[in-house]
Amino acid sequence: MTDVVTTRRRDVTRQRLLDAAAEVFAEVGLDAASVEAICERAGFTRGAFYSNFETKEELFLELAGIVSRERVAAVRTRVDELERQGAFADAATDAFSVIQKVLDIASDDRLGVLLMSEIRIHALRNAQLATAYLAQEQEMISSVAQIIADIGRTSALTFRVDAEEAARLMITVWEGASVRSAMAGVDYNEMCRRTNEEIARVAQLIIEPR
C-alpha cells in the first residue's frame, strides 16, 4: 500500500512539474525557463525536480512527447468516429472531403508549436537530445502510418506511397503549417483551419484516383 501511495505522489509531482514548465515556457521561452522558475511555479524544491528529471531538456522533451501523443490520439479518435458513422463509404469519389473530415480536429495551440520548434532547435546543437527527438518523431510517424493503413483498409482510398511515407509527408506539412500560422499571429481556430486545409491538399495529392 505504501508503494502505491509513493508512486501516486511521484506521479502527481512529475505532472505538476510538467504543468509548471509549460506555463513558464509559454511566458519566457525554453532558454529563459530556469529549473528554479519551474520549481517555484510548481511549489517544489530543486530536489523534487532532479528526482524526476535529469535535465531541463529532458523535461521539455517529455512535454514535446505529450504534444505528439495528443496529436495522434485526436486523429485516431476522429477516424474511429467517422468509421462508425460510415463516412468512408464515398471515399473513392470525394477523397478531399473525407480527408477534411478526418482532420476536423484541434490543431496545436501556440504553446505546442513554440515547444516543438524550440526542441528541434536545441536538438540541432545537442547530439543526445537529437537522438531522443528523432526516436520520438519516428514513434509518431509509425503511429500515424498505422492510422493511414487502417483508413486504407476500411475505405476505398489507395495511396500513391506507402503508409509510412504518407505519414512523414503529412507530419512535415502539419508542422510547417502550424509554425507559419504561429508566426502570422492568427488565433487558434484560424490556425486549425489553415493547418488542416494544407494537410488535406497534400493528402489529396498522394491519394490514387479511381
On whether both 74 and 143 belong to a single domain, the answer is yes
182: left (phi over 0), alpha (psi -120 to 50) or beta: alpha
On whether both 28 and 127 belong to a single domain, the answer is no
CA 128/CA 131 separation, integer angstroms: 5
On whether both 115 and 12 belong to a single domain, the answer is no
On whether both 102 and 158 belong to a single domain, the answer is yes
Cα angle, residue 127 at apex, residues 51 and 133 outer, rounded to 5°: 70
Q: Per mean pLDDT, which range of 108-112, 165-169, 177-181 is the poorest?
A: 108-112
pLDDT at 108: 63
On whether both 98 and 30 belong to a single domain, the answer is no
CA 88/CA 208 separation, integer angstroms: 15
Mean pLDDT for 46-70 is 87
- Tell me how crowded residue 170 is: count the other CB atoms within 10 A of its CB: 24
Picking from 110, 206, 123, 119, the residue whose alpha carbon sits closest to that of residue 167 is: 206
pLDDT at 35: 94
CB 29 within 8 A of CB 114: yes
Interacting residues of 178 by C-beta distance below 8 A, sequence separation 6+:
107, 108, 112, 113, 116, 191, 195
CA 2/CA 41 separation, integer angstroms: 28
**What percent of the chain is predicted at pLDDT more than 90?**
20
The CATH number assigned to the domain holding 199 equals 1.10.357.10
The CATH number assigned to the domain holding 12 equals 1.10.10
CA 60/CA 156 separation, integer angstroms: 40
| Cell 487502417 belongs to residue | 150
Q: How far separated are the first and last CA of the chain, in Å rounded?
A: 60
On whether both 117 and 164 belong to a single domain, the answer is yes
Report pLDDT digits (tens) over 102-141: 766 655 677 778 878 888 888 888 888 888 889 888 988 9
* Domain encompassing residue 33: 1-53
Higher pLDDT, 20 or 117: 20
On whether both 80 and 168 belong to a single domain, the answer is yes
